[in-house]
Amino acid sequence: MTVPLRAALYLRVSTARQAEHDVSIPDQKRQGEAYCASRGYQLIETYVEPGASATNDRRPEFQRMIEAGTSKPAPFDIVIVHSFSRFFRDHFELEFYVRRLAKNGVRLISITQEIGDDPMHVMMRQIMALFDEYQSKENAKHVLRALKENARQGFWNGSLPPIGYRVVAAKQRGAKIKKKLEIDPLHADTIRLIYRLALEGDGTSGPMGVKNIAAYLNQRRIFTRDGGRWGIGQVHRILTRTTYVGRHEFNKRGKSKALKPASEIVTVAVPPLIDQATFDAVQAHLRARNPKVTPARVVSGPTSLPASASAPPVAAP
């Protein structure tokens, strides 16, 4: 009696939007289970990756599957995906992981792109992976272009807003609702307090550094937006973010977190929480405390005031 091949299903979509317009997780699962049943495969495990890009391997379920597939003995003989693009959209990484699995006797099978293991079929898989990678990069370019245009028109692109702001509906275009930022009264005073502490202190000492500001907030149980404690990095980002003077910078950094050229950054006008003079004075204090730290780039506005310059007081919460 022939022992059935043991199969693992890997299901993935990039975003909730893709789940609506592409092959959803339930649909991939249904097709994968039907594929196994029609070929007599024994389905061992299903790995589900909702909301993860296939352009890199930073995917928990993907790594869990690879770890299982490369262990000895492997718990399954084949990995089944809807298409190779569900597994990877980078041709080099696709081949790397296919070969890692193959060394342990585990094959990758695509339901919609069935190919063999001979040299010609391997070449076909590599060509398909190249097209998937090209399509992924083209799609990313088009999405970014649309997001930049949306930002140029003054609309918010859907990410979590900076603390002190909230997202509100601004305009409806067809089925889409365009959104903008407005000041969040629940946290606006916390932002103003942070700037006041940096510029004037708490009344018992002079201007405070980011470490002391974080300690001050935590000691007085003034929590972050999600109810957590303040960290030095969070406070520093608030004190150097031009969003708070009414200029939010979209597309400032790429995936590598490297700063993009000024020509690629879109500045979106938002309601200011802090006046320009206060912001500039705080940047001067930050530079004086740590000359190696470069505060936020000021696109426009007055030249930074010297550290000793006075600035309009900011109302305490």
d(CA 214, CA 65): 41
d(CA 197, CA 205): 10
Question: What distances in angstroms separate CA 14 from CA 20, 109, 232, one per listed residue?
Answer: 11, 20, 32
Do 54 and 135 belong to one domain?
yes
203 within domain boundaries? yes
272 within domain boundaries? yes
Q: What is the pLDDT of residue 86?
A: 77
Where does a domain end: 142, 165, 195?
142
35 within domain boundaries? yes
Q: Is residue 300's pLDDT more than 70?
A: no
Do 126 and 195 belong to one domain?
no
Domain at 12, CATH number = 3.40.50.1390
On the 0-12 / 13-18 / 19+ scale of CB atoms within 10 A, 32 is buried
Do 16 and 122 belong to one domain?
yes
pLDDT range class, residue 243, cuts 50, 70, 90 = very high
What does the pLDDT average to over 300-306?
Answer: 39
Q: Is residue 299's pLDDT more than 70?
A: no
Q: Which residue has the higher pLDDT, 251 or 217?
A: 217
Do 25 and 97 belong to one domain?
yes
d(CA 178, CA 191): 26
Where does a domain end: 88, 123, 142?
142
Do 36 and 128 belong to one domain?
yes
On the 0-12 / 13-18 / 19+ scale of CB atoms within 10 A, 160 is exposed
Where does a domain end: 92, 117, 142?
142
Q: Which residue has the higher pLDDT, 293 or 78?
A: 78
Q: Is residue 106's pLDDT more than 90?
A: yes
Does residue 256 have an active-site annotation?
Answer: no
Specify the number of domains making up the chain. Answer: 2
Q: State the residue range of the domain holding 253.
A: 183-289
Q: Which residue has the higher pLDDT, 225 or 51?
A: 225
pLDDT range class, residue 240, cuts 50, 70, 90 = very high
Do 129 and 219 belong to one domain?
no
pLDDT range class, residue 129, cuts 50, 70, 90 = low
Those residues with Cβ within 8 angstroms of residue 51's Cβ, 6 or more apart along the chain or in another chain = 13, 14, 15, 16
Do 80 and 207 belong to one domain?
no
Q: Which residue has the higher pLDDT, 294 or 176?
A: 176
Domain at 219, CATH number = 3.90.1750.20
Do 119 and 45 belong to one domain?
yes
Q: Is residue 109's pLDDT more than 80?
A: yes
Do 128 and 247 belong to one domain?
no
Do 135 and 248 belong to one domain?
no
Q: Is residue 152's pLDDT more than 70?
A: yes
Do 22 and 110 belong to one domain?
yes
Q: What is the pLDDT of residue 302?
A: 41
CA-angle at 184, arms to 259 and 161, nearest 5°: 25
124 within domain boundaries? yes
- Out of 14, 85, 136, 304, pick the active-site residue: 14
Q: Is residue 310's pLDDT more than 50?
A: no
171 within domain boundaries? no
Q: Is residue 293's pLDDT more than 50?
A: yes
Those residues with Cβ within 8 angstroms of residue 210's Cβ, 6 or more apart along the chain or in another chain = 198, 232, 235, 236, 239, 286
Do 58 and 113 belong to one domain?
yes
| Residue 2: HSE in the Cβ half-sphere, 13 Å Cα cutoff | 7
Q: Which residue has the higher pLDDT, 179 or 306?
A: 179
Q: What is the pLDDT of residue 24?
A: 84
